Structure 1
Amino acid sequence: MAELLLEIFSEEIPARMQARAAEDLKRLVTEKLKSAGLAFKRADAYVTPRRLALVVDGLPVTQADVKEEKKGPRVGSPQQAVDGFLKSAGLASLDQCEERDTGKGVFYFAVIEKKGAATAAVLPGTILDSMAALPWPKSMRWADYTQRWVRPLHGIIALFDGKVLEGKFDLGGSAVTFDRVTRGHRFLSQGEITVSNFAGYQAKLRAAKVILDQAERRASIKRQADELAAKQGLEVKADDGLLDEVTGLVEWPVVLMGGIDQQFMSVPAEVLTTSMRTHQKYFAVESKDGKLAPHFLVVANIEASDGGAQIIAGNERVLRARLSDAEFFWSQDQKVKLADRVGSLGSITYHAKLGSVGQKVARNIDLAGELAKDIGADIDLAKQAARLAKADLVSGMVGEFPELQGIMGRYYAQLEKLPDAVADAIADHYKPLGPTDTCPNAPVSIAVALADKIDTLTGFFAIDEKPTGSKDPFALRRAALGIIRLIIENKLRLKLRDVLARAYSGYYDNGGSKDGGFEKNQPKAVIAELMEFFADRLKVALKEQGTRHDLISAVFALGNEDDLVRLLARVDALKAFVESEDGANLLTAYKRASNIVRIEEKKDGVSHDGMIDAALLEQMEEKELQIALASAAGQAEQAIIKEDYASAMSALAHLRRPVDAFFDKVTVNCDDPQKRINRLRLLSAIRSTLNKVADFSKIEG
């Protein structure tokens, strides 16, 4: 067994592309190895700013010999057929074939043995094909070369069993030939490094101030940062995204601490941390009580002879200029009230077919007021918050840092001494932004957040800008999940179809081009599509909780359930029911009854959903089933009215014994045509009775 070592050495790879590129390289190479019949023990990918590396251990030195059999024509077939078979098998004559009796006649069989090729001969093509197929999000051409790559290539290490493979990556005008030479840190090492295996490669890189393993670099940054902060009695503000990004910017991380001028500490903490993070990739530090401290952490890619003093001074100087801009925006923005900014939103296009941001605000005001009435929130405060929620979009601070939208609106509202409920709703109306984000629970915040998301979904569905495949440019899936969380986590009793209809009419009345697809009296198709979309998103939202998607489909399929809280109560009761012994058996009986009825209806050309004639019921099992169905249907209906879905399922569970007895003792397709139809109606009644609580045909199993 032998080892393959591959390193692709280049100019700095963008940090955001590194992890994906390493995984893609590993996937492409290992897939090609497997298709070539080359098994291996393990494969590991590594990445630094200047190199992609892959080590595959436990490869055989040659491919395994392959024995293939190919069936030919029957013995005695025309010569033309025999000749075609010999040619396709690469054989000269029938003497190289075997004759076998297959039980359906005697046929020619070609047995072809292929000697396994040397692995060293297979690997160059595998590497080059994988490099050519690597799916960079963005790539470039340089000099006069025609080949694209993420950044200019400088070298390729390609070693198998310690020997350099024969191959070169054609750039179109030049080529990078496989070698065993690389380089260490750009500034902390000099000269070339010659390697013969992965262990030596990794060790020599470390000696040349390169930590190859990205996980080790990440851990080193975190450890150094935590230690520096702890010395000052502080803690590093958690930011996994920034930690991942900075890990991709350095090969030899050295963490240093700098200071923030006290004059900037009056600026909101979110502004300071965003400015440091976005522009400079600095980590913020906090006191034990979570208050932002006047310090920052910078990750350098060099060991400085002065202990980093000049690096710190330079970064403090740059940060001072950045924060001066932020302080200026902060002071200037306070001179204009939020209410005075609302008019400027009319000049910002929301979408060509959906009007301006100002028009969206007008729709949000109306819808937030209606929703506030539905959920018991203060209507006036909800309307006020909806009116001001987008106002900070035209502030200088949000213009510089778009990620602070909403957050700055809250600060400006607080400075204007607006009600706390309004200020909080301004900040919270974008929430929740994802599955890990907090969900608003204050009534006014809920009303405004729901209004904004429902308006967005309704509008884009109306103009047929729905998500397709993996594409969702307007984040509509996230908006739907946000609506679902707001409703479920706050246990809101809303009729979703009515809310969507109100949102649709808001577009017609308060902005949105009629050419975009809005018809005042035809929102039904849009709402139907949206309800299907919500059903799909609900399945996603509940998947992690172990709720089966088919149970959600079974309840949604009733077509009359748009109260998500009530729907989930049904789903929970249905889940408990089908997981019980009685429920599982009754589900089997339901499918059996449905199949029989469907087959016979197709044969007869009529529906068998009619009334059951009690006079035609002869056997005890028939009579008992009819009585049980009538009783279960009545009990289930009453329980559903009371929203007692557990009792509704319990009523259905009592059907198990009479249904089982019916199938055991009664012949449905008997000779008497009237009795046959009556018994088919009994089976149809089983289906209709169970379908009062859910469409059991949607349930798997």
Structure 2
Amino acid sequence: MSDLLIELFSEEIPARMQRRAAADLQRLVTDGLVEAGLTYAGAVAHATPRRLALSVHGLTDESPTTTEERRGPKVSAPDTAIDGFLRGAGVAREDLEVRADKKGEVYIARITTPGRPAAAIVAEVLERTIRDFPWPKSMRWGNGTLRWVRPLRRILCLLTREDGSEIVPLKVDGIASGNVTEGHRFMAPGPITVSSFDDYEAKLARAHVVLSSETRADTIWQDASNQAFAAGLEVVEDAGLLAEVAGLVEWPVVLMGRIGDAFLDLPPEVLQTSMREHQKFFSVRDKTGRITHFITVANRATADDGATILAGNDRVLSARLADAVFFWENDLRVAKAGGEDWAAPWLAKLADVTFHAKLGSQAERIDRIAALAREIAPSVGADPDRAERAARLAKADLSSEMVYEFPELQGLMGRYYAEAAGEPAEVAATAEEHYSPLGPSDDVPTAPVSVAVALADKLDTLAGFWAIDERPTGSKDPYALRRAGLGVIRLILDNRLQFPLDPVFKTAFAANGHSATWAGADGEPDAAIAAPLLLEEFLHDRLKQHLKSEGIRHDVIDACLTGERTDDLTDLVARARALNAMIQTEDGANLLQGYKRAKNILDQAQAQDGVEYSYGGDAKLAETDEERALFAALAEARPRIDAAMASEDYTAAMSALACLRAPIDAFFEAVQVNAENQITRRNRLNLLSEIVTMGTKIADLSRIEG
């Protein structure tokens, strides 16, 4: 057994690419080794700004010798066919075996592939990995042909055994492999010779390189937290920034500085965003939540304990924050100077901003959202006038100077400006909240006005792109329509809203220049106007994905997509949850089988007879106790199910339906439906029709698999 160490040493790799690159190196190398017949016990990949490293331990020393049989042409085949087979198999004619099969005698070649030493396989796999490495962006340099993210300087490739180590020989674009790496660019420059992974990691540490990105991140966070705590402060958590900064340094040195007093009145989100985006600084707040300090991470220790580095960072930060103060003050003047029409200058600018070439400007879109929010408002408990007002102001900050500089602050700055202009709290909050939820873990707005505008925003987006036939296909979703669909679902379900979406769809499609009707003259969906139906189907598909984590099966949702309320998502989910629970019980599972049996017999009889058995059976014509018992059970269950459905108590409806399990089982065990007496047969088929009709009030149980 051997241990393999690989290091690809280059100029600085962008931090955002390092984690994926380390995973790709591990995957490509280990997959290649296994495909070539080697096995290994484990593998670990690492990344720093200047290196990708891979350690594979427990690697077999050579691939096994293998023998395979390859079937060739018939013995009577032409010589040209046999010669072609010999060339492909790499054997001579005298090495072939003749074997009889059902088609006659054929040639069989036994091909033996000798094992290969690990070093040869590693060299082959690593060269292919380097040449075909899937960097998002890559470059060429000098006169070479190799493409790498940044100029590749060294290839380290070692196989280590108990008796020592050997360099795996290979050369890629003039770069020969070796056993040499380098330490920190400034604190320990120069070559370092290594003999194993443990030796490699230890010598890098002495050369001021922390190999593990997780260790670098932990060091940064602990040092930052300790410095802040010592000053009575707290570092604002930012996992994304921590991972990025850990990819910018090989020897992290944490320094804390103070933000100038002239900038402390900026909103904390502005301070945090400016420092994160431009300087990669962590924000530090005091006990009141006010951001007063920053944390920067240097890539080296200095004789003055970082004072020079900190002073330089402070100068750059002050210049950035001075710009932010300028934007903030200019925007506040607009918000405070316009009275009731304070947003008019910004909204006027949005008339010249295209939302989409086929869907008009941002100003036109705001008009659509405002009208839709007014329509939705009563269904979500919001005041229509206030919802329309909030919708017209929600995107005004897109024209502000601050959002132009920091687009990620859209909505948040709108709330600040609306508050400064004296708007009601719920109107101001809507500017920030109407974009939510942005993902499956994002908070969902609960304030009625925010909910109305958030729904209007997302439904307008969906209707608009559906109307112009720009829908998600496969993995492509350039307009984030799946996210918008999930947002609609979560807004409705999390707030337990119950209202039909069809009228809202029609309004949204009509506003986007699409026919508000649902079907052609013959009552069937017309190809030119079927987009609303396709959108509803899209939302149902997203709903299935959303409910997957609850354990609700797709076929259960499909079964509930019956009746006239499939556009009421809350009602649909309530029925699906109740049905899902029922079919997991013994009674429910058996009832499902009885229902399917009844429907299959009924469908076959109707197809054969050319008539519909849907008029209800007559208990007076029952001939057996089992028939009479089923008639009685249906008569008892019918009002219970109807009452439960009317009150939307679907658990009670499912319970009443499950009570039919025993009489249905008994009926099928004792009664022959297709009796010779036609009156009896028709009566029994009409009885089955009652079972199917009663079940279909809740769901189409025939859609449930199993």
Fold-level similarity (TM above 0.5): yes
Q: State the partner residue of 2:18.
A: 18
Structure 2 letter corresponding to 1:137? P
CA separation of 1:342 and 1:103: change in aligned 2, threshold 3 A: closer
- 469-478 vs 139-148, which moves further: 139-148
The residue aligned with 1:277 is 276
Question: Does 2:549 correspond to 1:544?
Answer: yes
1:534-683 map, 5 Å = 534-558=539-563, 560-595=565-600, 604=608, 606=610, 609-611=613-615, 614=618, 618-629=623-634, 631-668=636-673, 683=688
SS in 1 for 2:58: strand
Counterparts in 2 of 1:573 and 1:304: CA distance versus 1, 3 Å: same
The CA RMSD over aligned residues, in Å, is 2.7
**337-346 or 647-656: bigger deviation:** 337-346
For residue 678 of structure 1, report the CA deviation from its aligned partner: 6.2
Report the counterpart of residue 152 of structure 2 in structure 1.
153
Distance 1:11 1:605 in 2: 81
What is the number of equivalent residue pairs in this alignment?
684
Q: Tell me how far apart the structure 1 counterparts of residues 623 and 76 of structure 2 sit (CA, whole Å).
A: 66
What is the CA–CA distance in structure 2 between the aligned matches of 1:594 and 1:133, rounded to whole Å? 58
Matches of 2:166 and 2:679 in 1, distance apart? 86
Which residue of the other structure, out of 528, 531, 535, is the alignment partner of 2:536? 531
CA spacing shift, 1:673–1:88, aligned 2, 3 Å: farther
Partner of 1:339: 343
Q: How does 1:426-575 map to 2 (within 5 A)?
A: 426-508=431-513, 518-521=514-517, 525-558=530-563, 560-575=565-580
**Aligned counterpart, 2:245:** 246
Q: 1:83 to 1:598 in 2, by over 3 A?
A: farther
Q: Answer yes or no: is the 8 Å Cα contact 1:350–1:360 preserved in 2.
A: yes
Q: Does 1:43 align with 2:43?
A: yes
Percent pairwise identity? 50
- Residues 99 and 107, structure 1, Cα contact 8 Å, conserved in 2: yes
Letter in 2 for 1:49: P
Counterpart secondary structure, 1:544: helix
SS of 2:697's equivalent in the other structure is coil
Q: Distance in 1 between matches of 2:429 and 2:149?
A: 44
SS of the residue 1:534 aligns to: helix
Inter-CA distance 667–116: structure 2 relative to 1 (3 Å threshold): farther
Change (3 A) 1:588 1:26: farther
Change (3 A) 1:661 1:51: same
> One-letter code of the match for 1:325?
D
Letter in 2 for 1:11: E
- Structure 1: give runs of 5+ residues left out of the alignment: 509-517
Task: Give yes or no for contact 2:486–2:542 (8 Å, CA) kept in 1.
Answer: yes
Residue identity opposite 1:477 in structure 2: R
Within a 5 Å distance, the mapping from 1:345-360 to structure 2 comes to: 345-360=350-365
SS of corresponding position for 1:56: strand
* SS of match in other structure, 1:693: coil
3-state SS, counterpart of residue 266 of structure 1: coil
Contact map agreement 2:606 2:613 (CA 8 A) in 1: no
Matched, 1:165 2:168: yes
**Matched-pair contact (CA < 8 Å) for 1:26–1:44:** yes
1:649 Cα deviation from its structure 2 partner: 0.6
- For 1:192, give the aligned amino acid: P
Please name the residue that 1:211 is paired with.
210
- How far residue 550 of structure 1 moved from its aligned partner, in angstroms, is 2.8
CA spacing shift, 1:622–1:78, aligned 2, 3 Å:
farther
Counterparts in 2 of 1:90 and 1:697: CA distance versus 1, 3 Å:
farther
The structure-2 alpha-carbon separation of the partners of 1:636 and 1:186, relative to structure 1 and needing over 3 Å to count, comes to same
**Change in 2 beyond 3 A, CA 1:73/1:347:** closer
**Deviation of the 1:668 alpha carbon:** 4.8
- What letter matches 1:200 in structure 2? D
Deviation larger for 117-126 or 63-72: 63-72
1:117 is aligned to 116
Q: What does the per-residue CA deviation read over 1:151-172, in whole Å, with 9 as the maximum and x for residues that have no partner?
A: 11111112223222222223xx
Q: What SS does structure 2 have at the residue aligned with 1:258?
A: strand
- What is the Cα deviation at residue 217 of structure 1? 0.8
Contact 1:608 1:680 in 2 (8 A): no
CA distance, structure 1, for counterparts of residue 443 and residue 384 of structure 2: 23
Q: How much has 1:374 moved relative to structure 2? A: 2.0
CA contact (8 A) 1:608 1:677 kept: no
Measure the CA separation in 2 of the matches of 1:684 and 1:104.
56
Conserved in 1, the CA contact under 8 Å of 2:565 and 2:571?
no
Decide whether the 8 Å contact of 2:626 with 2:671 is kept in 1.
Answer: yes
Aligned to 1:372: 377
CA distance in 2, matches of 1:352, 1:79: 66
How far apart are the structure 2 equivalents of 1:638 and 1:108? 77
Which of 338, 363, 370 is residue 368 of structure 2 equivalent to? 363
Residues 530/213 of structure 1: CA separation in 2 closer, same or farther (3 Å cut): same
CA distance in 2, matches of 1:495, 1:522: 15
Could you tell me how far apart the structure 2 residues matched to 1:124 and 1:660 are?
69
- Structure 2: distance between partners of 1:43 and 1:599: 60
Match of 1:92 in 2: 92
Rounded to whole Å, the distance in 2 between the matches of 1:112 and 1:674 is 75
Q: For structure 1, which segment, 684-693 or 194-203, has the greater mean C-alpha deviation from structure 2 after superposition?
A: 684-693
1:2-34: CA deviations, max 9, x gaps? 112111111111111111111112112222222
CA displacement at 1:471 relative to structure 2: 1.9
State the partner residue of 2:524: none
Q: Which moved more, 1:569-578 or 1:109-118?
A: 109-118
Counterpart of 1:577, as a letter, is M
Q: Residue 347 of structure 1 aligns to a residue in which SS?
A: coil
Structure 2 residue runs without a partner (length 5+): 336-341, 520-528
Decide whether aligned partners of structure 1 residues 131 and 693 sit closer, same or farther in structure 2, where only a CA change above 3 A counts.
farther
| Other-structure match for 2:306 | 308
Cα distance in 2 between the residues matched to 1:236 and 1:613 = 75
Q: What letter is aligned with 2:531?
A: V
Q: TM-score, normalised by structure 1?
A: 0.91
